[in-house]
Amino acid sequence: MHTRSKKRVAEPEQTSAAVKPANVPAKAAVAKPATKRIKSSEKKDPISNATPKGSISSHASKTISDTAYMNADGVRTSVWLMKSEPDRFSIDDLINSKDSTTPWDGVRNHEAKNLMKNSMKVGDSVLFYHSNTKEPGIVALAKVAKESYPDPTAFDPKNGYYDEKSTKDNPRWFMVDIKFDRRLKRIITLNELRQYKDRELSSMMLLKRGRLSVQPISDSEMDFIMYLEQQEATE
């Protein structure tokens, strides 16, 4: 979890024979009810008519893509969820940092560290998540601004995240830099995300392994989260 030395941080019966209507000649045709043709303009939009708890189709997902998770060439980037405790380092602290950029230091979980070291690339999108607070949830979008490099807090004996086994010649812990992109239109809380843990977000790591401070987000999860941002909260 992000610390920066102080930050840290889911039928009706059917009959076999047809019965002729009374008083109708044997060869008389029974008029069929007219079928109304629906103009394309009258067809329902799968997104605008969906409720927050409704399913979102893969077609609908493509119509709500957000440039926040596209690179300059319009290609989707990888997306990550990164947690920070707001009483130690909030989204406001990121905004107010120099160039609205900060090193994501203090991570002391090997799985989270390996994701930063081996998988994160410049331009990747980040869901900035406030954890260990009264209303945990996703509050903003950011970008990976610098790829992994050794975390210097591990070398400092005076730092709370010092690790004597980590040296400059053989570092154990790595970090990336992230840069603020934009606030979400509203906080998407953990409680709201949990409403979809058996459906659209059934595979979301946050709802399965909530303690991991750095987590991958799939394309479909990101599409749905961006969809939720446009809806009214359902808590």
Instruction: List the CATH number of the domain containing 203.
Output: 3.10.590.10
- β-strands 125-130, 137-150 pairing: antiparallel
Q: How many domains does the chain have?
A: 1
pLDDT above 50 (res 166): yes
Average pLDDT of 92-105?
99
Average pLDDT of 84-94?
98
Tokens 């869901």 label which residue?
A: 127
Q: How far is CA 48 from CA 45, 63, 115, 225, 231, in A?
A: 5, 11, 36, 15, 10
Average pLDDT of 107-115?
98
Q: How confident is the model at residue 7 (pLDDT cuts 50, 70, 90)?
A: low
32 in a domain, yes or no?
no
Residue 194 confidence (pLDDT): 97
Q: How confident is the model at residue 73 (pLDDT cuts 50, 70, 90)?
A: confident
205 Ramachandran zone, left/alpha/beta (phi>0; psi -120 to 50) = alpha
Q: What is the domain range of residue 107?
A: 51-229
21 in a domain, yes or no?
no
22 in a domain, yes or no?
no
